[in-house]
Structure 1
């Protein structure tokens, strides 16, 4: 949806998705109230700006969970009496009331997702995710993981503004949703060491892990593959998978996945028909951030994708 800029808090309050809550301003507005989201059906990403100091009381709607990441300096907002700052994360469960206090205007990132996704996480990693079904909590997140999630959401919202057709394709929406769910999955874990313990020691040799991962990617690349999929397929933690790939083939699993996707699109461009465009071919492969894709493509193949499509 387009970015909504509100002059008054009640308009902003109505724009918030899947939240039952009330805002009580405590001082006059110093900034606009802004809400910008991309609705992917059962997952929504957003960046929001509260325009003044405010007290909030409310809860997530039935069947929806949320992740809250502050984007402004410490002291702007308190949740359960704890100063929120970059690096801290809040997790909210359905129909459990929470309250917060904002001293001044502040900015935050929000992810909302349906219960079925969290239930799947619990089925896969019961020890880690069962507490996430039951209670709101504030915790210290893994900075690298949170930074990746924030960067992904910012890119998605930028694409929504600069390219209104970015998410017209069902495949592109599904690709972004998988990326958001994958990033949120890791962000919801309290820290990286817990992820490692939950999987235990790898039962396979390093060579077997790489071979299994490569085979899984080859078999499922057309359906979209995430890092979480690879970890589950190989029964190892993200940390183990990362170190094994670096030591065995010299690139991270994320980089290898990116290169495989680029190669698949390159082949499609080489076979492209006269009526096809780079955008249409990219959409079939779930690419929604065309500018970033073109830069990556040129760095790998030395030419722009449009040159390949026109030149064969």
Structure 2
């Protein structure tokens, strides 16, 4: 049985976001010029949940739970949230069917909301018309909601967020939870089933570009023990350099080269933080992930995570063996 009430978490470790948000798993890669920071407020309302996330810039590979429908939209800094390469403007709602895989990005610091509903509740709530169109398994649909419905939903979510921040114990009792659940479900119904909403049609090239980025990441993870460069991705995926660059620019607003660097830095950090018995030299881990210039690697690592590789090991409570990469830091 799900716990009821409110929870609040702060993250400085991208890996901690993997299963922190009910209804979704996230593989987060920071893309900002400062260290990654995020906060997540989760209000569990019986069989539903409201998540409010404030984060520094990131890109993420996300998968929704197999038995849940998730609605996502920006609460503050509209235009910073990007779903499958489509920027969420004021009024834009992303409706993710159960088991949907999507690319998620935040181009700047902002607050985003995610409403998580069990599939059976979504079917009843959204009705036959909306259900048939929106919450199909594995699908992400983008809607432009009516302005009045959008504003009501934003007010409900915003008020809940302010309450959690100031008096989180309020939702520890049944009556406030039920009142918020009813208001949230009504707002959701108005967003996706009311008059005036329309589906946002992404460019025809979006699906192909999303597939390229997903395949590139899968190839990188499958070959994490050897250096992977842009040319390798082009050969492995049978795409041109321009097509690869267009895909990453559309989905994450970065170049393939920068993606490879940031993704490999995150993979190195995960390896340093793991609690396996053997602790490899930082130099060895860096070289195996394609970083041959150890001085530049150390600078990039510190710029991305706010600490040196040896400091990561020490904070994880692991034995630190000095090597060339640590010296360069």
- Which deviations, in whole Å up to 9, do the C-alpha atoms of 1:198-255 show, x marking residues without a partner? xxxxxxxxxxxxxxxxxxxxxxxxxxxxxxxxxxxxxxxxxxxxxxxxxxxxxxxxxx
d(CA) in 2 for partners of 1:162 and 1:102? 26
8 A Cα contact 1:109 1:150, kept in partner: no
**Aligned-residue offset at 1:34:** 1.1
* Residue aligning to 2:287: none
TM-score normalised by length of structure 2: 0.53
Distance in 1, matches of 2:93 and 2:197, equals 17
Alignment partner, residue 126 of structure 1: 128
* Equivalent position of 1:310 in the other structure: none
The root-mean-square deviation of aligned C-alpha atoms, in Å, is: 2.3
1:63-97: CA deviations, max 9, x gaps? 11111111344542322221222221111111021
Select which of 159, 162, 165 maps to 1:158: 162
Give the C-alpha shift of residue 192 in structure 1. Answer: 3.1
Q: How does 1:268-287 map to 2 (within 5 A)?
A: none
Equivalent residues in 2 for 1:2-17 (5 A)?
Answer: 2-17=7-22
- TM-score, scaled relative to structure 1: 0.55
| In structure 1, C-alpha distance between the alignment counterparts of 2:79 and 2:128, rounded to whole Å | 34
1:182: how far off? Answer: 1.2
Name the counterpart of 2:37. 32
- Please report how far the alpha carbon of residue 191 of structure 1 lies from its aligned counterpart in structure 2 after TM superposition: 4.0
CA contact (8 A) 2:41 2:164 kept: no
Give the 3 Å change call, closer, same or farther, for CA 163–88 of structure 1 in structure 2. same
Q: CA deviation at 1:180?
A: 0.9
1:85 to 65, 89, 94: 89
Match of 2:190 among 183, 186, 191: 186
Residue from 114, 123, 130 that aligns with 2:118: 114
Unaligned runs of 5+ in 2: 1-5, 199-329
Counterparts of 2:165 and 2:81, CA distance in 1: 28
Distance 1:77 1:179, change over 3 A: closer
1:21 aligns with 2:23: no
Alignment of 1:136-147 (within 5 A): 136-147=140-151
Relative contact order (C-alpha < 8 Å, sep 6+): which is higher? 2
SS at match of 2:181: helix
Worse-matched range after superposition: 11-20 or 93-102: 11-20
Query: Residue 48 of structure 1 corresponds to which residue in structure 2?
Result: 53
Q: Give the superposition deviation at 1:13.
A: 3.6
Provide the C-alpha distance between the structure 2 equivalents of 1:188 and 1:152, rounded to a whole number of angstroms.
16
Contact conserved, 2:17 with 2:28, CA < 8 A, in 1?
no
C-alpha distance in 2, partners of 1:121/1:74? 26
What is the alpha-carbon distance in structure 1 between the residues aligned to residue 160 and residue 75 of structure 2? Answer: 16
Structure 1: which 5+ residue stretches go unaligned?
Answer: 195-312
**Partner Cα distance (2:197, 2:93) in 1:** 17
